[in-house]
Amino acid sequence: MRATDPYTKKVYDRLRKDGISPPSWPSQPGDPKSKGEMAKFREKYEEYRQKVRASLTKASLIDDPDKRKTLENAITFRGICEDMCSEYEKITRITELDVPQPEKDARTGFAKTSRMVKKLARSAAGQEAPLPMDVRSTAALRRTLDYLIDDLLRDDENLPSLHGFLWDRTRAIRRDFTFFSSPTADDLKTQAYVLENIARFHVTALHLLSQPGKAGEDFVEQQELEQLGKALLSLRDLYDDCNAQGITCENEAEFRAYYLLFHAHDSNTIEMLQRQWKPHFWRDSDDIRTAVSLVEALQNTADFHGPLKAAPFLAASNAFHSYFRIVEDPSVSYTMACFAECHFPQLRRSILRAVKRAMARPKDPTNDLTAASLNKFLRFDTIQEAIDFAKLHGIEFVPDKQAPMDPNQQCLVLNNKEPLRHPRLHHQFSQVLVENKRRNRPLPDVIHKTISEDSTTSFESGSGSFSMQDEGSLFVPDTKPGIPAEPQPPKTQTATTLPAFGQTLSGFGSNFAGTHQGRDLFPCQIQEHQQLSRTLSLLIPVH
């Protein structure tokens, strides 16, 4: 094998010097008829591994597990496997019949070693430390990620059946990076590329698989959110490491914005971010300014207070309307909208609570608000979804006297006697606010790139900002350098190429026009305060 870096060369030079080489593979390793041959082959391979461990330990190329060392004195470790799966894992899983369908030959149904991808192996007591050839190189990790997205997943139709496989294999990719003790600048850049793609995969899968009937049996929303959060956390720490070494990550501001929006309900995290992040992120990044405004709008909905009068109350508590308007703006990317969609269920509950509090009267129930009018606030794709959501919270409907057969004109029955129910809410897919931004682009494209429905806006991997020549943009234009070209998908090769607000977040160099209650506003928010008052006067009578 041709060495790709000094460490790899040292490892294989040492093994050659000691006359250690792996046994030859059987001709048909995946064929059930080769079961006995594979069992013997596994025994030989385990003997080979013992010799490798002894040789590399003696040469001080890996740490001796029987000798304690401080972290500073530990030997540098790198992955040197250039396949998507190490040979030993292939052998082990074939002999244990642990080969899922995506790793089998479509014609024969046998395990196909070239399609096998390293699975997640959780740490366990007494487990041997990995050998360098058990861990993939950073170049192999990037190729593996691209294979999973471009060659295996390919399109939306495959997502439900392949999601569980991809969920496991992307976790294994993230884990392999943790074994590198002294990553180079190229290693770190490759890790950023891979983690950014994995984060986009999780948030896109969460969005698409929340459609009715789309999720497979193995899809668990909470687990998807958990892995999305871990990918974002790994990225945050990686960016900090890169900054300390003077390494620039082109998409850093974009993914810090996603981290901020993802943790919108965690006031302690946001306060920490205000202190820790560099001022230029808050001042110069449109992505972070978008996230800040979304977080402010979201948090404002949780603090509605006011008199029980409909139009003035809801007009003053306009943050929920601004949240949806910001999301649907053409300059807001598809990926940002997917992250914003994570908060739709709780936001809609806050809106429903605010409507009930504003409209309900102490004595007799009121039924002045129609289902169609309610959905102007909840912003579901269909009015029926708004009706189902309200009923889930214990709100009843009665037919409208003038249009008793029109379900959209049903009226909400609101009173102060019954508290709003608090059911568990699931992720809510939005075609109008989110999916339309995709404009039918292929699934791999929206995982590899950050795209926008606005044709004058270019979001691509390798860019953390976007142009704002559109009159409908949320932001005041400013002069920025040209957007760098996106990194090309990696080719097969052996060389590597790698937190509620303490005060208002708007103060970090944002140049939004206008203020409201000490907060800076987007132009669309200013217009909303004017427009919503007029809208409410038509939708909701004041009693």
pLDDT band of residue 320 (cuts 50, 70, 90) is low
Q: 170 and 201 in contact (C-beta within 8 Å)? A: yes
Residue 152 is classified by DSSP as I
Which residues, other chains included, contact 281 with Cβ-Cβ below 8 Å and sequence gap of 6+? 253, 256, 288, 508
Distances (CA, A) of 492 to 80, 84, 371: 15, 11, 56
pLDDT digits (tens, 9 = 90+) for 374-404: 999 999 999 999 999 999 999 999 998 888 8
* Cα(296)–Cα(261) distance, integer angstroms: 10
Residue 520 CB neighbour total at 10 angstroms: 21
Angle, vertex CA 50, rays to CA 49 and CA 55, nearest 5: 95
What are 491-495's contacts with CB under 8 Å, separation 24+?
A: 492/143, 493/139, 493/143, 494/2, 494/4, 494/82, 494/137, 494/139, 495/4, 495/5, 495/139
Q: 402 and 416 in contact (C-beta within 8 Å)? A: no
Residue that the structure tokens 């009693």 belong to: 543
For the record, the structure tokens of 139 come out as: 């170049």
Looking at the DSSP bridge assignments, the partners of residue 136 are: 81
pLDDT digits (tens, 9 = 90+) for 325-364: 999 999 999 999 999 999 999 999 999 998 888 888 777 7
Closest by CA to 445, choosing from 162, 149, 147, 148, is: 149
Q: Which pLDDT value is given to residue 3?
A: 58
The residue type at 538: L
Q: Once rounded to an integer, what is the mean pLDDT over residues 291-304?
A: 77
pLDDT digits (tens, 9 = 90+) for 98-157: 999 999 999 999 999 999 999 998 776 667 899 999 999 999 999 999 999 999 999 999
109: left (phi over 0), alpha (psi -120 to 50) or beta: left
Give the 3-state secondary structure of residue 403. coil
Given a cut of 80, whether residue 60 has pLDDT beyond it is: yes
Give the 3-state secondary structure of residue 309. coil
* Cα(101)–Cα(329) distance, integer angstroms: 41
- Mean of per-residue pLDDT scores for the chain: 81
Please state the pTM of the whole predicted model. Answer: 0.82
Given a cut of 70, whether residue 311 has pLDDT beyond it is: no
* Cα(144)–Cα(150) distance, integer angstroms: 10
Q: Which pLDDT value is given to residue 38?
A: 96
Whole-angstrom Cα Rg for the chain = 28
pLDDT digits (tens, 9 = 90+) for 415-472: 877 789 999 999 999 999 999 999 999 999 999 999 987 644 444 443 333 333 333 3
* Cα(287)–Cα(467) distance, integer angstroms: 11
Q: Is residue 423 exposed (0-12), middle (13-18) or buried (19+ Cβ within 10 Å)?
A: exposed
The continuous run of DSSP H or E covering 29 comes out as: none
Q: Is residue 222 exposed (0-12), middle (13-18) or buried (19+ Cβ within 10 Å)?
A: exposed
Closest by CA to 513, choosing from 502, 524, 528, 501, is: 524
For the record, the structure tokens of 335 come out as: 């990926």
The continuous run of DSSP H or E covering 516 comes out as: strand 515-516
- Tell me phi and psi for residue 398, to 5 degrees: -130, 150
Pairing outcome for strands 411-413 and 519-520: unpaired
Closest by CA to 238, choosing from 218, 259, 223, is: 259
